[in-house]
Amino acid sequence: MDRNNLQRQVAYTRRSLFDQGYLDDQFIQLEDLQDDANPNFVEEIVTLFYSDSSRLIHSIEQALENRPLDFGRLDNYMHQFKGSCSSIGAKKVKSECTQFREYCNAENAEGCTRTFQQVKQELAILRRKLEAYFQLARQAGGAQAG
Amino acid sequence: MVFGTSASTQRKFRALIADDDPVIQKIHKVLLNKLGFETQVVVNGKEAVDLFRSGAFFNLVLMDMEMPIMDGPQATRELRAMGVKTMIVGVTSRALESEKQAFMGAGLDDCHVKPLSAEIITSLLKKLGKNK
């Protein structure tokens, strides 16, 4: 695929991430920080996010195994994780985090457990989509002009 | 005029980022560097206080509200009690006005939801420039 087609595909893929609600404007703020001095900044931030988020996800998983549930602790962990999601513009994941916190406030254990699965699912979906996007962007950047 | 430099001395403004979130650390570091700041990062309020106690100087501190060991409000109170006049800007993911006001009461000059934007950092730079 020539460079022009690749670049069109990159733009289309990027646009769809916003149109389908996976990303919000904070992701654009990250893109604005990417330059010659930090050429892979966005991908580095996303990688850092997924590396750091595994720690919080693990803490929440462990806390969900305790009985009775400590809703205050769960809410605190999810607040931290939601803040992290906000940093990269992970809109759908953030929405699930908000839902989880509402279940914490209502002390609804079943709701927390169910919503946490949604959080992990959306996190995994976003990761796959972003990895595919970054790979395409690298290909477009390295392709010879047509 | 190059943002982030003192016109009289050509030295860069120095900013301390106190935050335990590695994603926020990196975003704020790159943002501040782009706007001309030299930056240093610490992961809790105690490290921030210890730096000032050791004689370090900063023009700006970005102080996270929730950190282990010593949180942002406590670190801010200690810095002000030490006589530190540096601009301290709180950053928090807590958006409730009451929570931000409580943090402001510790001695902040300003408080914003994180991550900060280029526009907010630029407005802080202008305040720093006026205070020179």
CATH number at residue A7: 1.20.120.160
Q: Say what the pTM is.
A: 0.89
Q: How many CB pairs under 8 A join A and B?
A: 47
Per residue in A93-126, pLDDT (tens digit) is 999 999 999 999 999 999 999 999 999 999 999 9
B-chain residue closest to A29, CA distance: B117
The string of DSSP codes covering B48-70 is HHHHHHTT---SEEEEES--SSS
Q: What is the pLDDT of residue B55?
A: 96
The string of DSSP codes covering A110-121 is HHHHHHHHHHHH
For chain A, the domain total comes to 1
Distance CA B121, CA A74 (A): 33
Dmax (CA) for chain A in angstroms is 63
Distance CA B7, CA A12 (A): 45
Q: Give residue limits of the domains in chain B.
A: 11-131
Distance CA B56, CA B42 (A): 13
Contact A84 B21 (CB under 8 A): yes
Which of chain A's residues have a Cβ under 8 Å away from the Cβ of B23?
A: 45, 48-49, 52, 84, 87-88
Enclosing domain of residue A53: 3-142
Average the pLDDT over each of A129-133, B5-9, B41-45 and give the range with the smallest value: B5-9
**Per the structure block, which two tokens stand in for A73?**
């602790």
Its CATH architecture, for the domain B11-131, is 3-Layer(aba) Sandwich (3.40)
**Predicted confidence band of residue A145 (pLDDT cuts 50, 70, 90):** very low
Average pLDDT estimate for A57-82:
94
Residue B8 predicted with pLDDT over 50: no
Q: What is the pLDDT of residue A72?
A: 94
Q: What is the pLDDT of residue B100?
A: 87
ipTM of the complex: 0.87
**Per the structure block, which two tokens stand in for B46?**
């105690």
Q: What is the pLDDT of residue A116?
A: 98
A-chain residue closest to B28, CA distance: A33
